[in-house]
Homo-oligomer: A and B are copies of this chain.
Amino acid sequence: MNASDNQSGYDPKKYRTPDGAPSDIVIFTITSTERTTAKKALPIRELQVLLIRRKEWPFVGQWALPGGFCKETESMYECALRELQEETGVTDVHMESLNVYSKPGRDPRGWMISHAFYALVHDKWLAARRADTDAIDVRLFPAEEALRMELAFDHRDILRDALNKVREQMLTTTIAKEFLPEEFTIGELYQVIRTVVPDFEEPNFMRKITSTQSRKGIIEEAKDAGGQPKMSNRYSQRPAQLYRFTDWVPRLSIYS
């Protein structure tokens, strides 16, 4: 539908309109690299961000967040999903709206109001893509390193906001599950949380999450067909109980 089709006398052509509605996507993942020192040890994990290297004007050669222009036939969310799929091949993913970025002059191409999203993608989806990384100028960067880079547009602002948000969400929601396999050990979970929020320290982590009344519903023990607890010794000599997230999230409050 073209807007001027209507019978209302409203004519959008009378007004200066935006030159495009791009979306930018901050794609986070946590990479796991096995430690060389010992076997049976937790891998080294790192929070990474996917960046692409621009081939076209403006900011040619600079690293930028993936993204692209919205079409009239899709929502901004669908647009971001599509771009995400085109960049990474990932379809089923946790993606949320972040903020709008619209400071005048932010885009040399014209008046561009960008909407940013952040997505959490499991490492396994990006593994294939990472392999031929240098060739296609799509790379993962450690989040902190990317923050120090000179990115195209106002993408550093976007990245900073996304990082703040993902850190907050890591502690207040169960997004940790996006970085974990279906079944995981307490050690893995703790490590994932600490990878995103380094200053999170909780010596009694296991006890708190498994046996305090107000939190024990967040995760549950994984059991096999026979109802026996499932264990894993992938990361430790002593087999560890496997857990899975339930779909319950406690309601937080600063007042209670």
Which interface class (under 10, 10 to 19, 20 to 34, 35 or more) fits A? 35 or more
Q: How far is the CB of A62 from chain B (nearest CB, A)?
A: 15
Q: Assess whether A254 is in contact with B215, with CB atoms less than 8 Å apart.
A: yes
Contact indicator A254/B174 (Cβ below 8 Å): yes
Q: Looking at chain A's contact residues, is the secondary structure mostly helix, strand, loop, or mixed?
A: loop
Q: A102-110, A123-131, A133-141, A225-233: which lies at the B interface?
A: A102-110
Of B2, B16, B105, B172, the contact of A253 (CB 8 Å cutoff): B172
Q: Mark A98-117, 1 if CB is under 8 A from B, else 0.
A: 01101111001111010100
Question: Does A173 reach chain B (CB closer than 8 Å)?
Answer: yes
A147-199 contacts to B (CB < 8 Å): 171-174, 193
* CA gap between A77 and B171 in the complex, in Å: 28
> Which of A32-40, A41-49, A68-76, A236-244 faces chain B?
A68-76
Residues of B within 8 A of A17 (CB): 17-21
Q: List 25 A-B contacts (CB under 8 A).
A: A10-B109, A12-B20, A12-B109, A16-B71, A17-B20, A18-B70, A21-B113, A70-B113, A76-B100, A76-B113, A77-B102, A100-B100, A113-B113, A171-B251, A171-B255, A172-B172, A172-B253, A193-B255, A202-B255, A202-B256, A205-B256, A208-B255, A218-B254, A252-B252, A252-B254
Which residues of A approach B to under 8 Å, CB–CB? 1-4, 6, 8-10, 12, 15-21, 57-58, 69-77, 97, 99-100, 102-105, 108-111, 113, 115, 171-174, 193, 200, 202, 205, 208-209, 215, 218, 249-256
